[in-house]
Structure 1
Amino acid sequence: MSGVSPSRRHLSIWLPFLPTDRIRRDRGLSSRFAAPGDGPALVTVGKRGSALRLSAADAAARALGLAPGLALADAQAMYPALDIVPEDAAADRTLLEWLAEGMEAWTPLVALDPPDGLLLDITGCAHLFDGEVAMAAAIRRQLNARGIHARIAVAGTVGCASALARHGAEVAAARGRERALLAPLPLAALRLDDNRIRGLEEAGLETVADLLSRPRAPLAARYGAVLLHRLDQALGLVDEPISPRRPVPEYLVERRLLEPIGLESHILAALAALGDLLGGQLETAGLGAARIEASLFRVDGKVERLTVGASRPLVRGDEMRRLFADRLAALKDGVEAGFGFELIRLAAVETARRPPRQPGFDGAAALDAEQAFAGLVDHLTARLGAAQVRRLAPRDSHVPERAMALAGAGDRPPPAPAPAQDSQIPARPFRLFERPEAIEALAEVPDGPPRRFRWRSAWHQVARAEGPERIATEWWQAADDGLPTRDYFRIETEAGLRLWLFRAGLYGRETDRPSWHLHGVFL
């Protein structure tokens, strides 16, 4: 059985009155906490089976003995003046997500612990906030200022931190004392299902200490392996990593500001400075930033995120600053600064190899031109959006209308090989019709080029012809693709038109009446 690293630290936040806190916030009472005698007790109700029952109760309601699960009729019979609101799980989840996003200012490793909790991996972070006790107190103050009750515990395991926050006397930091602190807690602290808890209680087991004093094998045989698994997770004998809401980039820098900022010029200056720091990390690894995300944390907990892409790997802060300036200029109302941003984080969400460049070599001019074009693409993409800036890219198909597709302008598709050319006329037109146009054609032999054809109501006499170039459906396509074999001809009419046309269908093998089509014009 593998143990957990003793250096890991987890912080659990339990929000015991999340639904009622949300309702008070919505009513503009975010600065008040309900207490006995402070207005009518607030509860939320939902249907459970065939009856309406309390799904949440604020502190005032709980002081009156009202708890989730009680039938609404019984609660009203005892206290007719209750403030009753229908439950709204979706709104509660939205508030939990919003709170989790604000917690990313403390650590990027934040996970939901639904329906009413958050989990933070604070390994290596607490010293930035004067230790775990000070960090937990600061987080609690921040949540209280937003009208949210919170109980917080810190421990070496997710299971222990969650158990202490929900079922123990609130502990700011439990280092090396997990076993002793878990022992007096009820079995519900191990996050077991109700049926298993009832079975354990019927056997006289009520606390974690009761489990610790019993042989493991009989417990596993009678109550299932999940019981011991949960116990081992809480004790740190089995690892239980959290699943962060957002993946944490490998390359990330941040700056916590002494005074909140809100002016765009100040934001861009901070991003440029952070860009140089980020670029230094990337350059050491031989990489550059291909996609960059800036996270701006407001004083009130809201987070503004800006993402820009680069068609070439970047390592310089001034280049990143220009992209973010273009991105901000494209926003109709800019970023909403509120009372200002107190933390700015810059991350390389995607990276790419950055080949070293030798100044003064013969290809420097070509490389400069390529970088200038890449800069133009990045500028347009940041202003207009990636979907609006496209380029043609080759596809793996012999069929002309399938051979090219629109791709992101910053993508670097492999170069398409030029088709073989056996004359001064280009092998294929630079521009094709969107759809081949049907024509009437007369040929001297069934497999030969046309001698005359009618296109757009006019007859044309062929002076010269080259071909055929045979193109068949790709073998990897479905047999019922419906595309017959094509024989393409480059022809020049007596009037000087140079055209690219084809006969669809092999005479005598695929059809007895091949059709003719005009696909493009040579300029």
Structure 2
Amino acid sequence: MLGHSPSLEGRTATQNVRETPPLVVVAKARSALRLVALDETARRRGLHRGQALADARAIIPAIDAVDADPTSDAALLAAIADWAERYTPLVALDGQDGLMLDITGCAHLFGGEAELVADLAARLPAQGFAARAAIADTPGAAWAAARYAETSRVASGGARDLLVPLPFAALRLDDDIVAALDRVGLKRIGQILDAPRAPLAARFGASLMRRLDQALGREEEAIDPRRPVAALIAERRFAEPIGLEDDIAATIASLAATLARNLEQRGEGARRFELSLFRVDGVVTRLGVGTSRPVRAPKHVLGLFAEKFASLADELDAGFGFDMARLSVPVTAPDTPAQVDLAGDAVGEADLGQLIDRIGARIGPERVRRIVPRDSHIPERSEAWTDIDAAAHALSPGRHWGGLPPPSAHSRASGNPGSGHHYPSESGSPLARGRADGRSATNSDGEVSCVRALDPPLFPAFMDADPIDRPLRLFARPEPVEATAAVPDGPPMHFRWRRALYRIARSEGPERIAPEWWRNDEDETRDYFRVEDATGHRFWLFREGLYGRETIAPRWYLHGVFG
């Protein structure tokens, strides 16, 4: 079943015909100002849409004409469409002056179709709008009844009887087709209902028969809702309007509990909630909150909306109160039962997820970002910032928040083959070890590792904790430096960075990281060194390019600082 709100004939309903002159809206069309909308007073006195303003003034000199404002009209129609969602979530715009509502399965909430259309027809005039509404089996029949018939409800299967006396304009045909039909004496739809179809389609086009079939229900016609349909919806109507925060909070908790049961039956959790509050004067307030993981706990949902209300610049304007509240779930995701401990509490990252959700509700989810690992051992490419929704999908079973990707074969660290990151080994040292006397050593692959003797170690491990093998401050892009090494493959002896000279007292390395073989770029192998200068400052340097194999002039870069 479909409902249709027709043209808004005039900005407001005329209250006093004797004192108020006819009101019309004019716009320039066909080189003249013409009437595009008019109130009931102007209609009764013989004016009509499309009439030239000069002709209208000749009939009624005291006419009140205002210029059309399509932008404001579109905004007003959108606001009315928001309000009309109190009847059904499936609301579509119909041209520039109408709405189409799919009320299938909704009429019983209002006591029936007749009661629904009566409620709609009573509320709009109370807000100052002159409008007509009708219900029929098909969009085409509802459109025709609302604009060209006196009935507000077409009985099931009664579309044919409705269309018989109506003009062809009721079929939503173009003006040139209506004019062509009129020239051959065809003025009413009933004249062609039983006529041969082929000659009519050949002379007046296929659109004539398509519109007729749509109105009669022979051809399917779907409406295009202006807002996506939510997966789950729970709503509450109030006998008396509410406006207190406690009442709104209690309503949210009750609706969230209803949705939680439905989500649990589906084995899903909500990734987003949307609250719609319908004021008695027609204003609709919408608030949405997102979650970093699927949730359905009513207490958590209520906490998110509490944060949302607290973040509003102005207090929620309840006006004369809200007579309806709706909580919907636009986005869902599978939600498996959480493992619980002996105390009955869920274990895992629930607390972190709730914190992220509350921050997102307060400042906006688009402002909450998280670091996720990427499949690369090149430090500047090994992680990326992303929003919380993308971060949740980016994590695989083998990763955790903020964790490093597992070792892969495309990177090598001398002393720890197969990894560009440190992973603890039984030897107790994450770094390539050289000779204790500081001389170079050759590993099984024939690669040279040159490490100065350290006593004590530069980065000691306390109580078997993992040593700090990455700088606390990692530069977004490595900065070039001028460095000098004793041998081409050895650690630097001193380097110049930002016009300052640093003499190295101790160093560890190299940690070799090779670029991904599948990337078609000019990256070269890097040898990283952790160094400390004579004053105690510690740096993370690397030499780019293997001497004699990739380049004859390796370049040095500073990639970060420790502390």
* Structures share fold, TM-score greater than 0.5: yes
1:485 match? 524
In the TM superposition, what whole-angstrom CA distance separates every residue of 1:160-215 from its partner, at most 9, and x where no partner exists?
A: 00011111223324222111111111111111111122222223322211221211
> How many angstroms apart in 1 are the aligned matches of 2:550 and 2:127?
75
Once structures 1 and 2 are overlaid, which stretch shifts more, 268-277 or 80-89?
A: 80-89
Which residue of the other structure, out of 35, 46, 65, is the alignment partner of 2:27?
46
Verify the 8 A CA contact 2:35 2:49 in the aligned structure 1.
yes
Verify the 8 A CA contact 2:275 2:327 in the aligned structure 1.
yes
Secondary structure (helix, strand or coil) at the match of 1:151 reads: coil
Secondary structure (helix, strand or coil) at the match of 1:44 reads: strand
RMSD: 2.5
Normalization by structure 2: what TM-score?
A: 0.82
1:440 and 1:476, CA in 2 relative to 1: closer, same or farther beyond 3 A?
A: closer
Structure with greater helix share of residues: 1
Once structures 1 and 2 are overlaid, which stretch shifts more, 372-381 or 440-449?
A: 440-449
Q: 1:47 deviation in Å?
A: 1.3
1:51 and 1:475, CA in 2 relative to 1: closer, same or farther beyond 3 A?
A: farther
1:212 and 1:330, CA in 2 relative to 1: closer, same or farther beyond 3 A?
A: same
Normalization by structure 1: what TM-score?
A: 0.88
Greater Rg over alpha carbons, structure? 2
Which of 1 and 2 has higher RCO (CA within 8 Å, sep 6+)? 1
Q: 1:371 deviation in Å?
A: 1.2
Verify the 8 A CA contact 2:531 2:541 in the aligned structure 1.
no
In the TM superposition, what whole-angstrom CA distance separates every residue of 1:276-316 from its partner, at most 9, and x where no partner exists?
A: 00000000111111211111111111111111122232222
> How many angstroms apart in 1 are the aligned matches of 2:377 and 2:166?
70
Paired AA for residue 20 in structure 2: G
Secondary structure (helix, strand or coil) at the match of 1:501 reads: strand
> How many angstroms apart in 2 are the aligned matches of 1:446 and 1:463?
18
2:285 match? 304
What is the 5 A alignment of 1:127-138?
A: 127-138=108-119
Which residue of the other structure, out of 330, 347, 353, is the alignment partner of 1:368?
347
In the TM superposition, what whole-angstrom CA distance separates every residue of 1:135-168 from its partner, at most 9, and x where no partner exists?
A: 1111001001011111111111000000111112
1:333 match? 314
Which residue of the other structure, out of 51, 57, 80, is the alignment partner of 1:99?
80
Q: 1:461 deviation in Å?
A: 2.8
Which residue of the other structure, out of 500, 509, 512, is the alignment partner of 2:540?
500
Which residue of the other structure, out of 55, 61, 75, is the alignment partner of 1:80?
61
Tell me, yes or no, if structure 1 residue 279 matches structure 2 residue 322: no
Tell me, yes or no, if structure 1 residue 379 matches structure 2 residue 419: no
Verify the 8 A CA contact 1:36 1:63 in the aligned structure 2.
no
2:502 match? 459
> How many angstroms apart in 2 are the aligned matches of 1:34 and 1:63?
14
Verify the 8 A CA contact 1:287 1:352 in the aligned structure 2.
yes
1:6 match? none
Verify the 8 A CA contact 2:8 2:129 in the aligned structure 1.
no
Q: 1:80 deviation in Å?
A: 2.5
In the TM superposition, what whole-angstrom CA distance separates every residue of 1:91-114 from its partner, at most 9, and x where no partner exists?
A: 111111111111111111111112
Verify the 8 A CA contact 1:151 1:170 in the aligned structure 2.
no
1:27 match? none
Q: 1:50 deviation in Å?
A: 2.2
In the TM superposition, what whole-angstrom CA distance separates every residue of 1:395-432 from its partner, at most 9, and x where no partner exists?
A: 35554223322223464232341544342755533530
Secondary structure (helix, strand or coil) at the match of 1:255 reads: strand
Once structures 1 and 2 are overlaid, which stretch shifts more, 391-400 or 57-66?
A: 391-400
> How many angstroms apart in 2 are the aligned matches of 1:510 and 1:71?
82
Tell me, yes or no, if structure 1 residue 11 matches structure 2 residue 13: no
1:205 match? 186
Once structures 1 and 2 are overlaid, which stretch shifts more, 284-293 or 259-268?
A: 284-293
How many equivalent residue pairs?
Answer: 498
Which residue of the other structure, out of 158, 165, 173, is the alignment partner of 1:177?
158
Structure 2 unmatched ranges of 5 or more: 407-419, 423-429, 432-460, 462-466
Verify the 8 A CA contact 1:462 1:491 in the aligned structure 2.
no
What is the 5 A alignment of 1:342-353?
A: 342-353=323-334
